[in-house]
Amino acid sequence: MSGSWQNWSGRLEAQPTQILAPATTAEVGTAVKTAAHAGQRVKVGGSGHSFSEIGVPDGALLRMTELAGLIDIDPASGLVTVEGGMPLHILNPLLAAHGLALENMGDIDRQTITGAISTGTHGTGVRFGGMATQVRALELVLADGSTVQCSARERPDLFSAARVGLGALGVITKVTLQCVPAYALHVIEEARPLDDVLAEIESLVDDNDHFEFFWFPHTKTALTRRCNRLPADTPLRPTSALHERIVDDFLTNTALESLLRVGTRFPRAVPPITRVVTAAISSRDAIDLSHKVFASRRDVRFNEGEYAFAREHVVDTLREIEHWVDSHDEKVAFPLEVRFVASDDIPLAPTSGRTSAYIAFHQYHRMPYQRYFDAMEAVFAAVDGRPHWGKMHSLDAAALRSRYPRFDEFVSLRNELDPTGVFANPYLDRVLGAVS
C-alpha cells in the first residue's frame, strides 16, 4: 500500500516507500524483517501528533490501527495491558468503566499510548511522574524481527531505556500500565496577574496536586489551572454545556482561529488579539472524572517546542522570556504553558534525575516561528534545558550528551539492538548520532 504521511500541524510531510498495517505482533516482526532485508528503514505511525521530526518515515511506515485493542485489565491490581496502537481517548473510558484511571496524563488525548510514552509526554503535578513512569512491562519487536518482553525483572536495562525510547529500540506492540483507582478532579481556572503567580509559584505548585498556567506574551496576565484529586464517588459538577460551547468550542477554537488568520495577514494585530482572548476566557470551577479534566480540545493548529529544566529556575527563565518578547518586535500569537513534573530514573526522559519545570512555546501554524523558537532555545540552554522529544528543537547528539548523564548508556543499547539503523531516520541520526 502506498500513500503520504503528514503530522498534525501540517509542517511535516513524507512519502513512505510502503505503508503497512500489521494486525499481530508476528506480522510486525515479518514487516520489520522484510523491510530490513530490502535495505529500508522502518518507522511506526501513531497519531502524528509530534511536532518534531521523530516520527517522519523515510522508508516503510507501520500504521498501528489494527494493533489498538485492550488485552487484559485487572481492577484489583490496577495492571492493564493494551496493544501499542491504543489511542488515549479510547483507553480512558475503558479504564473508567472498570473503576480505574491513569495516574497522570497530558492535556491532549489524541496520541497512541506508544507515542505518548516514547516521546516523554508528561502532564503536570510535582508529585507525579510523566506517563512513562506508569509503564510496568513492554513487548517489542526488535530490528531482526524477533519479539522480546521486558520489565523491571526481565531485561531490565532494555525496559529502563524503552519507556522513553524515541522509537529507536524497537516497535512496541504491547504496553502494561500501572493504573490507579478512578478519581475525580476539582478544577479551578482563573486569570491572575503574572507577577502574583510568579511571586506565589512555590505554594501554588506544592499545595495543589496538578498546577499549571498559561501566559500570553504581550499581556501581564496568567491563566492558572489548579486541579486537586477527589474520590471517584464525589458528586460530580462538570462544566456546563453553555460554558463548553462558549469557551471550549467558540473562544479557544472557532473564534481564535478566525482572529489568528487576521493576525497572519496583519501582524500588528497580534498583541491586541492576545489581550482580547485572555480577557474573554472566563473562570471555571468544576468537578469531573480525571480524564475529562486533563484533556482539552485542540482544533487550532500550531507548531510547538518545549523544554524541561530544574524547577528552581522557573521564575528567572520566564522573566528572561518576557524580557525577550518585550525587547523584540516578534508577534507571538499563542501562550506559553508552564508545568511541573517529578523526577524519574528513565535515561532519556527530560525529567531524568531532577524535579522539573516545563515551558512549552507555540506559534500559530500559518505564522513564522523560527526567530522566536531560536530565541527560546537560547534561553533554555542557559538552564541546561532538555527538549521534549515530540516537540521542535535543533539540538544534536553532541549538545544532548552534555545534558543527559545516561545518554551514552542509551546510545550503546541502541547500537547493540539495531546495528544497521533499521529504526533510524534523519531525526534520530541527528539526536543520537548515526548507528556505529
User: Residues 300, 305, 211, CA angle at the centre, nearest 5°?
Assistant: 80
C-beta atoms surrounding 328 within 10 Å: 12
Within 13 Å, how many C-alpha atoms sit on residue 223's CB side?
Answer: 21
- CA nearest to 197, candidates 209, 215, 219: 215
Q: How far apart are CA 278 and CA 282, in angstroms?
A: 9
Whether 185-387 and 70-181 are alike in CATH topology: the answer is no
Pick the CATH number of 70-181 from 3.30.465.10, 3.40.640.10, 3.40.350.10, 3.50.50.60: 3.30.465.10
Each domain of the chain, given as residue ranges in start order, spans 70-181, 185-387
The answer to whether domain 185-387 has CATH 3.20.20.150 is: no
Amino acid at 86: M
What is the DSSP-derived secondary structure letter of residue 53? G
- CA nearest to 198, candidates 319, 336, 337: 319
What is the pairing mode between strands 336-341 and 210-215?
antiparallel
User: Residues 120, 126, 131, CA angle at the centre, nearest 5°?
Assistant: 25
Dump pLDDT digits (tens) for 72-116. Answer: 999 999 999 999 999 999 999 999 999 999 999 999 999 999 999
Dump pLDDT digits (tens) for 188-240. Answer: 999 999 999 999 999 999 999 999 999 989 899 999 999 999 999 999 999 86
Dump pLDDT digits (tens) for 310-366. Answer: 999 999 999 999 999 999 989 898 889 999 999 999 999 999 999 999 999 999 889
Backbone angles phi, psi at 232, to 5 degrees: -65, -25
Q: How far apart are CA 420 and CA 303, in angstroms?
A: 32
What pLDDT is attached to residue 278?
Answer: 75
249 pLDDT above the threshold of 70: no
